C-alpha cells in the first residue's frame, strides 16, 4: 500500500491509525448516503430523520482526524511519501464531510417530499443516480483502503455519467413543471436532490485524485480524464 516502514514503530502506528479512522469515517458517510436515498425512495420519515440527526458523527470524525494529522505534522515533520499521505488524508476527510452534508440535504428533502401529494415518477431516475453515486463512493473508499491508483482512475472515469444523469433528470423535471405549474415546488425539491447527488460524484472523484496523488506523486486535479490517464501511463 506504498506506506514505508520507519525505524519508529510508533510512527508507523500513527500513520496506520489515521488511515483506519478515514475508513471508519467513510463507512459512516456511506451509510448516511444509503439511508438518505432509501428514505427518499421509500418515503420513510423515520430513516430520514435519523439520517439528518446523525450528521454530527461525520463532523466529529473530521475534527478528530484533523487533530491527529496536525499532531503528526508537528511531531514527525513528515516528508516525501509520508507528507503526501497526510495531505491526502486531510483532503479526503474534507470531501467526506461534504458528502455527509449532501446526504443530510437529501434526507431533509425526503422529509418534505414525503408530505407532498402527486406522482413521483422521477424517483426511478433519481434512484438510478443514487445507485451510481453510492457505488462511486464505495469504490473510491475501496481504492483509498488499498491505495490503488488504477482503481481510483476507474472510479473517477465514471463521474461524467453522473453529469449525464443529472442533465437528464433536469430535462424530465422541467417538462413535468411545464405540464402543470402545481408541480413546481415538488419538482424543485427533486432538482436539489439530483444536484446533491451530482456533487457527491464530484467529491468521490476528488478522493480518487488524492489516492493517485499519494501513490503516483502526481497532482491530477483540474485536468481531463484523458490527461489523467496519460499521466498514469508515464
Question: Do the domain assignments include residue 118?
Answer: yes
Question: Do the domain assignments include residue 155?
Answer: yes
Q: Which domain holds residue 57?
A: 9-233
Question: Do the domain assignments include residue 168?
Answer: yes
Say if residue 217 is exposed, middle or buried (CB neighbours under 10 Å; 0-12, 13-18, 19+).
exposed
pLDDT tens digits for 84-113?
Answer: 999 999 999 999 999 999 999 999 999 988
Question: Do the domain assignments include residue 43?
Answer: yes
Residue 7 pLDDT greater than 70, yes or no: no
- Check if the beta carbon of residue 169 is closer than 8 Å to that of residue 129: yes
Question: Do the domain assignments include residue 3?
Answer: no
pLDDT tens digits for 136-166?
Answer: 999 999 999 999 999 999 999 999 999 999 9
Taking the C-alpha atoms of residue 159 and residue 191, their distance in angstroms, rounded to an integer, is 18
Question: Do the domain assignments include residue 91?
Answer: yes
Residue 1 pLDDT greater than 80, yes or no: no
Question: Do the domain assignments include residue 1?
Answer: no
Q: What pTM was computed for the model?
A: 0.93
pLDDT tens digits for 50-88?
Answer: 999 999 999 999 999 999 999 999 999 988 889 999 999
> How many structural domains compose the chain?
1
Question: Do the domain assignments include residue 4?
Answer: no
DSSP code at position 1: -
Name which of 199, 202, 214, 82 is nearest 145 in CA terms: 214
DSSP codes of every residue in 199-218: HHHHHHHHHHHHHHHHHH--
- C-alpha 144 chain-centroid distance: 12
What is residue 8's predicted lDDT score, i.e. its pLDDT? 67
What is residue 147's predicted lDDT score, i.e. its pLDDT? 93
Taking the C-alpha atoms of residue 51 and residue 46, their distance in angstroms, rounded to an integer, is 9
Taking the C-alpha atoms of residue 132 and residue 179, their distance in angstroms, rounded to an integer, is 29
Name which of 220, 194, 226, 195 is nearest 206 in CA terms: 220
DSSP code at position 182: G
State the CATH number of the domain containing residue 125.
1.20.58.220
Amino acid at each position: 500500500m506504498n506506506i514505508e516502514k520507519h525505524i519508529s514503530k510508533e510512527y508507523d502506528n500513527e500513520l496506520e491509525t489515521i488511515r483506519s479512522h478515514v475508513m471508519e469515517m467513510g463507512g459512516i458517510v456511506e451509510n448516511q448516503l444509503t439511508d438518505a436515498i432509501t428514505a427518499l425512495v421509500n418515503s420513510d420519515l423515520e430513516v430520514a430523520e435519523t439520517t439528518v440527526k446523525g450528521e454530527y458523527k461525520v463532523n466529529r470524525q473530521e475534527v478528530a482526524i484533523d487533530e491527529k494529522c496536525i499532531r503528526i505534522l508537528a511531531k514527525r515533520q513528515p516528508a516525501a511519501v509520508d507528507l503526501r499521505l497526510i495531505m491526502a488524508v486531510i483532503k479526503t476527510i474534507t470531501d467526506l464531510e461534504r458528502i455527509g452534508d449532501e446526504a443530510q440535504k437529501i434526507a431533509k428533502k425526503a422529509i418534505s417530499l414525503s408530505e407532498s401529494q402527486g406522482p413521483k415518477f422521477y424517483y426511478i431516475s433519481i434512484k438510478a443516480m443514487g445507485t451510481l453515486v453510492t457505488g462511486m463512493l464505495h469504490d473510491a473508499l475501496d481504492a483509498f483502503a488499498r491505495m490503488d491508483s488504477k482503481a481510483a482512475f476507474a472510479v473517477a472515469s465514471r463521474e461524467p455519467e453522473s453529469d449525464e444523469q443529472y442533465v437528464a433528470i433536469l430535462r424530465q423535471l422541467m417538462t413535468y413543471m411545464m405540464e402543470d405549474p402545481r408541480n413546481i415546488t415538488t419538482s424543485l425539491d427533486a432538482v436539489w436532490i439530483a444536484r446533491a447527488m451530482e456533487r457527491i460524484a464530484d467529491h468521490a472523484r476528488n478522493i480518487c485524485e488524492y489516492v493517485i496523488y499519494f501513490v503516483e506523486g502526481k497532482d491530477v486535479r483540474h485536468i481531463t480524464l484523458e490527461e489523467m490517464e496519460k499521466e498514469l501511463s508515464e
